[in-house]
Structure 1
Amino acid sequence: MSSVELQDVGRSAARRWGLLVTIGAGLLLITLDNSILYTALPTLTEDLGASGSQSLWIINAYPVVMAGLLLGSGTLGDRVGHRRMCLVGLAVFGVASLVAAFAPSAGLLIAARALLAVGAAAMMPSTLALIRVTFLVERERNIAIAVWGSLSVVGMALGPIAGGALLDAFWWGSVFLVNVPVAIAAIVAVLLLAPRDEPDATKSWDLLSSVQVMVGLVGAVFAIKELGHRPPNLVVIAVAAIASVIGFRLFARRQHRLAHPLVDFAIFRNPAFAAGVLAAGLSMFAIGGLQLVTTQRFQLVEGFTPLSAGLLVAAAALGSLPTALLGGAFLHRTGLLPMIAGGLALAAVGVILVAAGLSSSFALLVTGMVVTGAGLGSVMAVASTAIVGNVPARRAGMASSVEEVSYEMGSVVAVALLGSLITFVYATSVNLPAGSPDAARESLPDAHAAGAGNPAIIEAANAAYDTGYLVTAAVIVLVLAAGAAVTGRLLRHHGPGTVSALNSGH
């Protein structure tokens, strides 16, 4: 090979890996925004005078809107080009971050969070699709996707740390303002490094399908949240559940009738693809749920600062990085089965250690966080390969969107279900002394506010919250164990030495 040819190869490799760094920066922004408000929410709620319902939607508007738009944006990316979608998404994300940072009211902040989701939904499928079309060698692609997948865990785990650190130095709007320079730098890098688009004009974007998905998601979130109230409003639950079922049912029927559906359900017949989608959702459910209840528990019960609580759950990110990177590097030897099913099983063991360490040993609890991260890092690194690598190249956008919907659904369900579960267990198990204010029975923050100066109330409330924490951990363990069993069954023919992806020409 001549020196000129070697230089061309070097430049090509530099462009590929430089693009991966750029894509990673965009993905990190998206995943950070899923969890960065966990530590900032109390401060901004107080400053904006947000109600309990508004606080819920300040958190959930982002993942719900994103999940509703992701399927459509992946197909739209196939039509207009993933490079263009990535650029548009970054621009919208940057503008929405500015609006959110300086929002004067809770309503405008919720709207800005929804606009952030629009930018993220445009950007996210394009990041994985660009990897699919840029890295043509399977081993390189596996490593690139492993880096991409690990950033999802890292972003979720680092969100509370970033939020806590920014709040220590600046006002709450800084958690959004920090996105702007990163978005600008990423736009410049994508313009320089991303391959030119090859749009497919035969693909069409169907807005109605996206609306139907969002109706289903919003209804499901409302129903789950209301189940956590004591007593629950049965009318609200019924209406929300009916709306959810109708939305999802109409969406499924519409996909079967469309010539170019947002989701071709036939791709789920590939067991490796189905296992990857399931594993992606369960991983985000586990890390999101464990992070949510752990940061709240140690701030409310132990008096940790937001930054200290964020550093605690960052132990999961510490554990995830080695297994995520090694998983991608050695996937061609191990196959999907041990990485996905084994990773979910290891994460279940980690959550058991976290629960055991709650009352016995803080070191054991931190060890459990690291072990949980190690298991989920392996899963999320190779789940992306199982998903994107097992569809034809022309379906890369669709597959990317399905994966991201799985991630966002895992996050939405974790916040809605596990947040409601811990509140429900608290309300039903708290044993307050006689004459305690009724508000102390609603939630731990209410008990701390109503029972200030009364150690008996605080002690009873903390004990009830710890019961809820253990019940929540048990649910996460059961979900992970079931996921390990199901994915193990689906991937029984994908053990060591097997091919992890379809031939790229299919």
Structure 2
Amino acid sequence: MSAVGTRDAGLTAARRWGVLVTIGAGLLLITLDNSILYTALPTLTEELGASGAQSLWIINAYPLVMAGLLLGSGTLGDRVGHRRMFLIGLVVFGVASLVAAFAPSAGLLIAARALLAVGAAAMMPATLALIRVTFLVERERNLAIAVWGSLSVVGMALGPIAGGALLKAFWWGSVFLVNVPVVIVAVVAVLSLAPRDQPDPGKTWDLLSSVQVMAGLVGAVFTIKELGHRPPNPAVVAVAAITSIIGFRLFVRRQQRLAHPLIDFAIFRNPAFTAGVLAAGLSMFAVGGLQLVTTQRFQLVEGFTPLAAGLLVAAAALGSLPTALLGGAFLHRTGLRPMIAGGLALATGGVVLVAVGLSAGFALLVFGLVVTGAGLGSVMAVASTAIVGNVPARRAGMASSVEEVSYELGSVIAVAMLGSLVTFVYATTVRLPAGAPAAARESLPDAHASGAGNPAILEAANAAYDTGYLVTMAVIAVVLAAGAAVTARLLRHHGPASVSALRPGH
């Protein structure tokens, strides 16, 4: 073993990989909670008597609060130590899971989901930062980050499956209660295995910056969702858009004035870093969009159970695992460009196969999901390397936060934009028979609820939803293709055996 290897954070190989297993458990909890409610939402909405607006916030409170806090938590981790932040996040996540599991009202559940996001935001940047300071040998670090990236895909894909399976055996609160024993084991493991912190008390945490960026994010999501309504409310669009613009503008101006900003925009001058951030966001956009519309389509149109629909979209996770692990193992030979740009291009072809398979045959659709997962697995494994490997160690927390914000934004935008798009296309193209209830024109669930089993109404509604599904697949494919072209250009000089563009002390 090289001298560098023997100095690897003072840890034995067993302890290093033990740290990775522990980090992976925390990451799996975070990503599972992003999608586990897709199948549980109808049940808990009925149990708690939640309104439509409350149902929306039960889902969105988690990713929105997390995205708003991620930048700040990464910098805070640089200040107080990433091991400590991970432990704090685990404890908050466990407490919030208990509150959510036994929440007697929709309002308390929304508050618990927001608290879950606080814990997740504390943990997320710490996961990558701990890998960065634990694995100093580049090849080992690449493989560790590949495992990390594959768990992100697996967690998102397993969420609907876990939700469906738990609902089948237990009550809706079990989707949150299952987190608690994992949290307890992870806390013990972190205390035993993780390297000691080397905090930088010179770093400052700015709460106002987090509030500003969260206002920008919430305003953007409200704008996208309202534009998907038919017709949209101009006043809501205007207020939400103005709030978003003001929030982001104030955030950018404040970062430029702060001595220790939550994000130093200079790091985006590194093309490999920028390509990694872009690839991370696009990957989650594709995963989130595919998962959302595919599970809904096969439950509503084909009559799949929540568990069966969850198993269907797990085909993407199945495809992602081998390419994620192989991508990390061979990155030092291939370089970033073929893994990121090539992976996005492969995923584009997979989405096209999914769209064709909708009419050509179920087997082709499943194969398309596997191909899409294979492309995105490669991307997500090495995008993290592109990000954390192209900033100095003192910026590890900041870089990790930027990546996690990119992941969360990709997921939030996918749910907001693509969920609204499929509903908009449905409402625009549906051709219901004379005498059909007005509610049937609003959405496919409304058509099924108000159509009273009328075959003509259901056939027209299903056909319109399929049109929306195909349009959504086309949008995802175009976005992925554009991402492949842009990242290929950004990484044109990042070939085989290339290393981080920034030296550790830079």
The question of a shared fold, defined as TM-score above 0.5 by the shorter chain, is answered with yes
Given that 1:332 and 1:500 are in contact with CA atoms closer than 8 Å, whether structure 2 keeps it comes out as no
> What letter is aligned with 1:285?
F
TM-score by length of 1: 0.98
Aligned-partner SS, 2:436? coil
Deviation at 1:504, TM superposition (A): 3.4
Aligned-partner SS, 1:254? helix
Match of 1:144 in 2: 144
Distance 1:194 1:80, change over 3 A: same
Matches within 5 A, 1:392-403: 392-403=392-403
Aligned-partner SS, 1:261? coil
Match of 2:384 in 1: 384
Match of 1:248 in 2: 248
Deviation at 1:452, TM superposition (A): 1.8
Match of 2:316 in 1: 316
Q: Which moved more, 1:277-286 or 1:493-502?
A: 493-502
Distance 1:501 1:326, change over 3 A: farther
CA distance in 2, matches of 1:423, 1:499: 45
Match of 1:340 in 2: 340
Distance 1:9 1:224, change over 3 A: closer
Given that 1:337 and 1:494 are in contact with CA atoms closer than 8 Å, whether structure 2 keeps it comes out as yes
CA distance in 2, matches of 1:343, 1:350: 10
Given that 2:9 and 2:195 are in contact with CA atoms closer than 8 Å, whether structure 1 keeps it comes out as no
Given that 2:315 and 2:373 are in contact with CA atoms closer than 8 Å, whether structure 1 keeps it comes out as yes
Match of 1:58 in 2: 58
Match of 1:200 in 2: 200
Match of 1:481 in 2: 481
Given that 1:89 and 1:119 are in contact with CA atoms closer than 8 Å, whether structure 2 keeps it comes out as yes
CA distance in 1, matches of 2:15, 2:171: 38
Matches within 5 A, 1:356-367: 356-367=356-367
Matches within 5 A, 1:447-462: 447-462=447-462
CA distance in 2, matches of 1:493, 1:201: 37
List per-residue Cα deviations over 1:115-166 (Å, max 9, x = no partner). Answer: 0000000011001000000100000000000000111000001100000110
Deviation at 1:503, TM superposition (A): 3.6
Aligned-partner SS, 1:465? helix
> What letter is aligned with 1:482?
A
CA distance in 1, matches of 2:351, 2:292: 14
CA distance in 1, matches of 2:9, 2:77: 28
> What letter is aligned with 2:378?
S
Deviation at 1:229, TM superposition (A): 1.1
Given that 1:71 and 1:401 are in contact with CA atoms closer than 8 Å, whether structure 2 keeps it comes out as yes
List per-residue Cα deviations over 1:343-389 (Å, max 9, x = no partner). Answer: 00000000000000011110000000000000000000000000001
CA distance in 2, matches of 1:398, 1:376: 24
Say how many residue pairs are matched: 502
Deviation at 1:501, TM superposition (A): 5.6
Given that 1:335 and 1:500 are in contact with CA atoms closer than 8 Å, whether structure 2 keeps it comes out as no
CA distance in 2, matches of 1:435, 1:170: 41
List per-residue Cα deviations over 1:14-71 (Å, max 9, x = no partner). Answer: 1100000000000000000000001111111111111111111111100000000000
Matches within 5 A, 1:97-136: 97-136=97-136
1:227 aligns with 2:232: no
Match of 2:239 in 1: 239
Identity of aligned residues (%): 87
> What letter is aligned with 1:160?
P
Distance 1:85 1:9, change over 3 A: closer
CA distance in 2, matches of 1:360, 1:452: 30
Deviation at 1:495, TM superposition (A): 2.1
Deviation at 1:231, TM superposition (A): 1.2
Match of 2:466 in 1: 466
Q: Which moved more, 1:371-380 or 1:224-233?
A: 224-233
CA distance in 2, matches of 1:320, 1:306: 22
> What letter is aligned with 1:128?
L
Match of 2:179 in 1: 179
Deviation at 1:274, TM superposition (A): 0.2
TM-score by length of 2: 0.98
Match of 2:257 in 1: 257
Given that 2:226 and 2:233 are in contact with CA atoms closer than 8 Å, whether structure 1 keeps it comes out as yes
CA distance in 2, matches of 1:127, 1:453: 50
Match of 2:298 in 1: 298
Match of 1:211 in 2: 211
1:91 aligns with 2:99: no
1:430 aligns with 2:430: yes
Calculate the aligned-residue CA RMSD, in Å: 1.4
Given that 1:281 and 1:407 are in contact with CA atoms closer than 8 Å, whether structure 2 keeps it comes out as yes
Distance 1:47 1:397, change over 3 A: same
CA distance in 2, matches of 1:499, 1:394: 18
CA distance in 1, matches of 2:382, 2:270: 16
* 4+ residue segments displaced more than 6 Å: 8-11
Given that 1:39 and 1:160 are in contact with CA atoms closer than 8 Å, whether structure 2 keeps it comes out as yes
Match of 2:275 in 1: 275
CA distance in 1, matches of 2:47, 2:11: 50
Matches within 5 A, 1:70-85: 70-85=70-85
CA distance in 1, matches of 2:104, 2:351: 40
CA distance in 2, matches of 1:452, 1:178: 38
Aligned-partner SS, 1:171? coil
Deviation at 1:496, TM superposition (A): 2.5
1:420 aligns with 2:417: no
Match of 2:287 in 1: 287
Given that 1:86 and 1:126 are in contact with CA atoms closer than 8 Å, whether structure 2 keeps it comes out as yes
Q: Which moved more, 1:219-228 or 1:268-277?
A: 219-228
CA distance in 1, matches of 2:301, 2:501: 47
Given that 1:494 and 1:500 are in contact with CA atoms closer than 8 Å, whether structure 2 keeps it comes out as no
Aligned-partner SS, 2:12? helix
CA distance in 1, matches of 2:27, 2:502: 25
Deviation at 1:228, TM superposition (A): 1.2
Deviation at 1:179, TM superposition (A): 0.4
Match of 1:13 in 2: 13
Deviation at 1:11, TM superposition (A): 6.4
Given that 1:81 and 1:197 are in contact with CA atoms closer than 8 Å, whether structure 2 keeps it comes out as yes
Given that 2:9 and 2:135 are in contact with CA atoms closer than 8 Å, whether structure 1 keeps it comes out as no
List per-residue Cα deviations over 1:78-126 (Å, max 9, x = no partner). Answer: 0000000000000000000000111111111110000000000001100
Deviation at 1:497, TM superposition (A): 3.1
CA distance in 2, matches of 1:156, 1:420: 20
CA distance in 1, matches of 2:348, 2:444: 27
Given that 1:331 and 1:500 are in contact with CA atoms closer than 8 Å, whether structure 2 keeps it comes out as no
- Where do 5+ consecutive residues of structure 1 fail to align? none
> What letter is aligned with 2:128?
L
